[in-house]
Amino acid sequence: MSRRAFLLGFFSIAGQVLLLRELVSSFNGNELFIGVALFGWLGWVALGAFLGGKKNKHIVPGLLFIIGGIILPLCVVATRLSPLVVTDIVGEIVPFSVAAVISVVVMLPVGVLSGWLFPVLARSSQPSAGTVVQVYLFEGIGAFVGGVTVLFLVGTVLSTLGMALVVGVITATSPAILARRLNGPAIAVFIIGALLCLGFVPWVSTRVDTLVDSVKYRSYRVERSFDTHYGHQAMLSADETRILLTDNAIEAVQPDLSAYENMLIPPLVYCPEARSILYFGRIEFGLTQLMDSLGMFSITAVDPRGELNDIVEDVAKNSSLVTRITSDPIAYVSKHGGQRSFDIIIIPADGLDSYQRSRLFTGRFLRSVKSMLTDGGLLFVPTRYDTDRYVTEETRELLSAIHNVIAGNLSNVTFWPGERTLLFASDTQLFDIPYDSIINRLLRLEYSPQYISDNYLADRLDEFSTERLISVMAGTDITNSLERPRLSQIQTWYRSKTSDLDRKIVSSILRQPWWLVGIPVLILVFFFFTLTGEDRSRRAGLFLYFTAGLVSLSLELLSFYVYQSMAGSLFSEIAVLIGAFMLGLALGAYFVSGSVNSNMGCYSLLMLLAATVIFFATYEQVHPHLLLAYYLLFLFSVALGTGSLFVAATNRYYGTQTTGNRGLGYAFELVGSSIGALLTTTVLLPIIGLHWLLASLGLVLCVALLGSLLAERVD
């Protein structure tokens, strides 16, 4: 049983991570979408655990593992092709409502199967509490190994699809070995054959990736298809056009001279003597050619996806003026802030519905950016928001949030209205120059712009257009911060305007938060339900299960968010953090698995409460060099408390019973986790903020502690 439970943990976490990666890359998903997809996964696993606990008497675990090994790669392929159900236009964003439904559907087969296996493996003549804890323990160890393996290999050695094939082979073939029906030499031959098959997986997956993308983007020729740690990349071509796709969204196009000029020419109007530029993002295609034409400065481009460098250079040679830095922007600025200086710093405002991108528009990051500007230096923020003729409410709030956070750190901010609204900021008065001077500076460039020209700017810098934009934004105090990331919420609202249904869903969830009152009410109703009736002492264990899932996943997601925002996490670090959490779950269950102390639930809740309070009080004061160690300890302590709380809940609910649904308690934990996934970082964080969210989790722990004490008195 222990080896099969280990395999279950390995398969379950691998399936979850791989399907989530593929969903995000197929639908260019943000945190709200990820929350819905994770909610769907946990909900299906909970359903599978519940059903498996009721109907598991004649099911062979080995058969379920074989089925799982076959359907996982098929589900990954189906996920990648699923946008074709809606559109075959390259780069078109699928409406959130449709993408959410698809994400829940594709999670169903693997999720239900993973949940069903838990009570099947826990089937035994021993007391239920012992078998449930044992399966949970070894599942946690398997999840630790599987999670770290997937996060280290995907994007470096294997693609998402390639890793799904590897996991499928391991899952489908392992039951034959675990059954112990083979002798020693036969097992050796079997293992060698499996390893040889796995050796061909990278070669096979590369071709399968290209084949699947060729079906998905059938109007183009797929030059390359591969994964990085950060998502799925595809290089497409048709005639003279080259397109770089990142997570099914167009990141760069060749040719697109208008976009290139808007990215580099405007800041030179205010800093004509600039010689060094820092750019956060990819410098691709015609941008490098435009730099060679300008021939007057060097540019440092910071982006963590170093794997793209050689791929892009096969299409367009890199300029000798470009220095590529493979690093996360926040990690780079944290390391070099105040040590290196640039005349112009460019932060493109793209993909702001993701915390990974919107974190670049917080006071913490911009203060570090400011320290890297030379005296008289300029911060330039090009956006894709249209303010040419009419400023929508969503556009007004987005530009106001960006403006307010920049204005809080740099004293002078100005706009260029138009189809691509541009923001400029400096601590020096650079912008109060006549229109004729702007045109003269353009004429002195070695390159003659075709789009940023006199005729174009005459309309764009018209006094009426500029004053109209400023007046529309006046009096708006919206800002973006680490504690309350509003920018992503507003961008999600902006993106929802492509669909009436999306508009209604997002508006009702994010713009009318009165419904949040129902969350604590429902939790309290469930709490009082578990403390009523003749078996209330036993049913109190269900609330402990629920609390363990809700609080642990919420704290895990919040810690990832804060760590990414403060340290600029690379995915290798996330792998270590997830590994620490999974290992802590297993060790927490192991240390108390033989305990009969009736107060174990109280001790576990106090440990989780202490970790939450300490994190609340100290996360802003941690030295940058100690961030990884701090979060490792925090996640490990949360996981220890969660693992021990699961054991305490199991002992209370199952006791020495040998009958009953052995997947029910696990299902309740997953229900709590699914609610945490759906609400914590997706909805509650931007609405009530990090501090109130941590306080709310602490309150849930206090309620659970009160229930545990009351249940002890009943005993």
CATH class, range 1-218: mainly alpha
pLDDT tens column, 401-445: 999 999 999 999 998 998 889 999 999 999 888 888 989 988 888
Are 523 and 700 spatial neighbours (Cβ–Cβ below 8 Å)?
yes
Q: Where are the alpha helices (DSSP H) in 349-462?
A: 355-358, 363-370, 393-407, 435-443, 454-460
Query: To which H or E segment does residue 184 belong?
Result: helix 184-199
**Phi, psi values for residue 502, rounded to 5°:** -60, -40
pLDDT mean over 265-293: 85
Domain layout of the chain by residue ranges: 1-218, 256-483, 512-715
d(CA 23, CA 78): 10
- In the prediction, which pLDDT does 119 show? 85
- In the prediction, which pLDDT does 361 show? 94
What fold does the segment set 256-483 form as a domain? Rossmann fold (3.40.50)
CA distances from 274 to 267, 278, 298, 383, 628 (A): 9, 11, 9, 22, 37
Average the pLDDT over each of 244-258, 308-322, 329-343, 485-499 and give the range with the smallest value.
308-322
Question: Strands across the sheet with 231-238, in order?
Answer: 221-228, 231-238, 241-246, 249-254
pLDDT tens column, 147-181: 888 888 888 888 899 899 889 988 888 776 666 55
CATH class, range 512-715: mainly alpha
Asked whether this chain's domains 1-218 and 256-483 adopt the same fold, the reply is no
Six token digits for residue 17: 């991570």
Q: Calculate Rg over the CA atoms of the chain.
A: 27
DSSP 558-582: HHHHHHHHHH---HHHHHHHHHHHH
User: What's the CA dihedral at 452, 458, 459, 460 to 10 degrees?
Assistant: 50
The residues that bridge with 243 in the sheet, in sequence order, are 236, 253
d(CA 545, CA 37): 22
DSSP 439-507: HHHHHTSSS--SSSSHHHHHHHT-HHHHHHHHHHHTT------SSS-HHHHHHHHHHGGG-HHHHHHHI
pLDDT tens column, 619-658: 999 988 899 999 999 999 999 999 999 988 888 887 655 5
**What is the distance, to the nearest Å, from the Cα of residue 595 to the centroid of all Cα atoms in its chain?**
37
- Residue 125: pLDDT band with limits 50, 70, 90: very low
d(CA 99, CA 96): 5
- In the prediction, which pLDDT does 126 show? 53
Q: Of 257, 440, 435, 280, whose CA–CA distance to 344 is shortest?
A: 280
Q: Of 509, 511, 651, whose CA–CA distance to 39 is shortest?
A: 509
pLDDT mean over 250-260: 85
- Residue 551: pLDDT band with limits 50, 70, 90: very high
**Single-letter residue type at 656:** T
Please check the confidence at residue 346 and state whether its pLDDT lies above 90: yes
Count of residues making up the chain: 715
SS3 content of the chain, % helix, strand, coil (to 5): 65, 10, 25
d(CA 188, CA 174): 13
pLDDT tens column, 92-119: 888 888 999 999 999 999 999 999 988 8
Six token digits for residue 460: 């764009």
- In the prediction, which pLDDT does 658 show? 52
Average the pLDDT over each of 336-345, 374-383, 675-684 and give the range with the smallest value.
336-345
Whole-number average pLDDT of the chain: 86
Higher local confidence (pLDDT), 560 or 295: 560
